[in-house]
Amino acid sequence: MGTYDRLSLNTATTKALTLPEALDTAARAGLSHVGLWRDRVAEVGLEEAARLVRQSGLQVTSLCRGGFLTAADPAGQRAALDDNRTAIVEAATLGTSELIMVVGGLPEGDKDLVSARQRVADRIGELAGFAAEHGVRLVLEPLHPMYAADRAVISTLGQALDLAAPHPVEAVGVVVDTFHVWWDPQLAEQIARAGREGRIASYQVCDFNLPIAADPLLSRGYMGDGVVDFETIGRWVTEAGYTGPVEVEIFNADIWAAPADEVVATVKDRWASLVLPSLQRAGALA
């Protein structure tokens, strides 16, 4: 297996590029996988995006993102369901089975986290069947607890697995994103559980930089620049049986401002030195 066979470049890492540019950058770097964001797909239109992807020969490992399911009002809930059904169709059209779900924060002025989480469970129940019919899995993403109020009320892998549990594994999965879950004292046991329960749909890597950036959303870094223990987490994910692609998804203002080819070269370096060994070492034990 080649060094970069499992490396997938998420287009959020090269945010300045259009979809054709991002696909070209990944292909020229010798990669075989990309993760796509819906905004770049929308710019060229879905059918054209699907054509560009086919032409590139790249495999789409996930579409980001569905979600935002916490509305408390019926109109907001209907709008969310409509948008997610659209996203499910987009994922299928782009040739990926994985739709990453960032489930949304508290509605404006609302502090009732317990009820917001219940609404997420309810909306997932309403979407799971439609997703499965289209061969798409709703991939629940736990976000770092610093985003629990304003971005995603799913805060731990264990919680994501609890939400997934009532649904078939083909319909609802979870993503392990190192930036969001590295701190979790239950991480080892919940990754093992995710493997046992057949729920690991994606492994995403980037670092958690300190000090936290002025815009906390942009506090991600190249693997190795922050505090994440990739060796340990990669081993846990591999021991849990995950053998799929690994997306590198970095939101960082400096990285976004740098030339894309340099960014991809650094991503490949860090992948080869910090991520791939953790996946192989565990594999060797098996």
**Nearer of residues 169 and 188 to a copy of itself, judged by Cβ:** 188
Name the residue among 85, 104, 116, 99 with its Cα closest to residue 175: 99
Q: How far is the CB of 209 from a copy of itself (least distance, A)?
A: 10
Are the CB atoms for 180 and 144 separated by under 8 Å?
Answer: yes
User: 60 with 34: CB under 8 angstroms?
Assistant: yes
Residue number with CB closer to a copy of itself (219 or 266): 219
CB of 161 to a copy of itself, least distance (A): 11
Nearer to a copy of itself, 48 or 110 (CB): 110
Minimum CB–partner distance for residue 215 and a copy of itself (Å): 8
For 128, the 3-state DSSP assignment is helix
Tell me whether the omega of the peptide bond preceding residue 211 falls within 30 degrees of 0, making it cis. yes
CB of 95 to a copy of itself, least distance (A): 34
What are φ and ψ of residue 67, in 5° steps?
Answer: 120, -145
- C-beta closer to a copy of itself: residue 76 or 216: 216
Cβ 213 to a copy of itself, closest distance in Å? 9
Nearer CB in complex with a copy of itself: 31/181? 181
Torsion of CA 209, 213, 217, 223, to 10 degrees: -20
* Cα 36 from Cα 158, distance rounded (Å): 26
User: How far are the Cα atoms of 27, 30, 85, 124, 148 from residue 69, in angstroms, in the given order?
Assistant: 35, 37, 12, 8, 13
Q: Which of 114, 120, 116, 132 is nearest to 160 (CA)?
A: 120
Taking the complex as a whole, the smallest distance from the CB of residue 237 to a copy of itself amounts, in Å, to: 15
Give 99 or 116: the residue with its C-beta nearer to a copy of itself.
116
Kindly state the smallest distance separating residue 68's Cβ from a copy of itself, in Å: 17
Task: Report the interface residues with a copy of itself, using CB under 8 A.
Answer: 106, 111-114, 117, 144-146, 148-150, 154-156, 158-159, 162, 182-186, 188, 208, 210-212, 214, 216, 227-229, 232
Q: Around 184, how many Cα atoms within 13 Å sit in the side-chain half-sphere?
A: 24
| Of 82 and 254, CB closest to a copy of itself | 254
